[in-house]
Amino acid sequence: MGKDIKGKELGRGISQRKKDGNYAVSVVRSDGTRVFRYFSTLKEAKQWQTDTKYEDSHQIGVVSDTMTVNAWYASWSKQKESLVRPNTIRNYCDRYERNIKPVIGRMRINDVKPIHCQEVLNRMAEEGYAGSTINQTLLTMVTMFWSAFENRVIRYTPVTKSGVKLPKAYKKEIDFLSVEEEKKLIEFSKDLCYYAQFRLILDTGMRTGEVIGLSWDCVDFEKREIRIERSLEYRYSVGEWRSGPPKTKHGYRTIKMTDTVFDILKEIRDGESNVKEWTPEEFRNLVFINRTGYPTKNSTYDTALGKRCEKAGIKKVSMHDLRHTFATRFVEASNNYKYLSVMLGHSSIKITMDLYVHQTEESQALETEKYMSYTKSVGIA
């Protein structure tokens, strides 16, 4: 029987250390191994002892009482490689290495609490990270810790809804072009070889990878439709192209062509092909092939777009911001958010509403005019 520093009996496996007053606890598991922990209070010590004995008797024991977050991430991410898209793995890796690892990587995974996970997000907010990046970090922690829970590595996940939240003060609104900025970009891009790709996103809301991976068998001129069936991106980490399905199952969709898109695609189809004798078979039916006989890399598009924005005298935006611009124009013209959600390939209309049902200066002025007209018509102006 263990005792405290005053000689009081504490129970089997618990004792108090004289040098620091902490309580030492040990439990012998059914396989003969002994595990030790130290706690500052007797209550914590007894709770841990009770929990550990219960887990052992019900075969819920952890893989290792000393496993670190780094060790679990290495195991978890390796298993994920064959289950999710390469781009998803890349996002997990970036967020873990840059943001999660420096804060909790060396901690024992069983010691991680909600407050530690919140600290990861708070630090990112203080350093000026975009809201979308902070959200991606939260998603990474949610996924990796839930997997640890399901695999009985931890008793509970520390990423709880009430304990870990996105820092509200640092949520960043999506970026998009105003009507005048969009007009300037279009005008100053007409002589650019990527003009067609810019317009395709501005008129359909397609993702960049979907534009790169668009093939002629998915373009139906008779029905004036585009079928989104795959995404293509260049992976710099391995130096090769990766083709895969759309981002989510809702990414499989059919989009109606605008007159502009119809004319652009028809001109490309009827023009001279850039397919070369050395163009790989997997690329030969793509709509957008550059003069080298290959698809254009995603980063090249962003670089070219940035330069055109500068030339047009407007703020610099990314290719993904062109998708945001399309959605914003749609919301300004229509309140059919369900249809917009389908066009964008979102998994739910809530995502579309949260992202795009905001008010631009143009829409605010229009709605104010409507309100004034109404109050005048009913005699309360």
Rounded CA separation 16/66 (Å): 22
Look at phi and psi of residue 185 and say left if phi exceeds 0, alpha if psi is from -120 to 50, else beta.
Answer: alpha
Give 62-108 pLDDT, tens digit per residue. 555 678 999 999 989 888 877 777 778 888 898 999 999 999 999 99
Q: Are 227 and 254 in contact (CB under 8 A)?
A: yes
Give 189-242 pLDDT, tens digit per residue. 999 999 999 999 999 999 999 999 999 999 999 999 999 999 998 877 667 888
CATH class of 181-314: mainly alpha
The predicted pLDDT at position 145 comes to 93
> In the chain, pLDDT over 70 holds for what percent of residues?
90
Domain residue limits, the chain = 2-57, 69-170, 181-314
Instruction: Count other Cβ atoms within 10 Å, centred on residue 317.
Output: 21
Give 266-325 pLDDT, tens digit per residue. 999 999 999 999 999 999 999 999 999 999 998 899 999 999 999 999 999 999 999 999
69-170: CATH topology: DNA polymerase; domain 1 (1.10.150)
Match 């263990």 to its residue by tokens.
2
For residue 110, the 8-state DSSP code is: G
CATH class of 2-57: alpha beta
Mean pLDDT (whole number) for 323-350: 86
The predicted pLDDT at position 326 comes to 92
**pTM tops 0.85:** no
Rounded CA separation 171/112 (Å): 25
Cα 309 to Cα 187, 260, 306, 325, distances in angstroms: 11, 21, 5, 14
Helix H or strand E encompassing 379: none
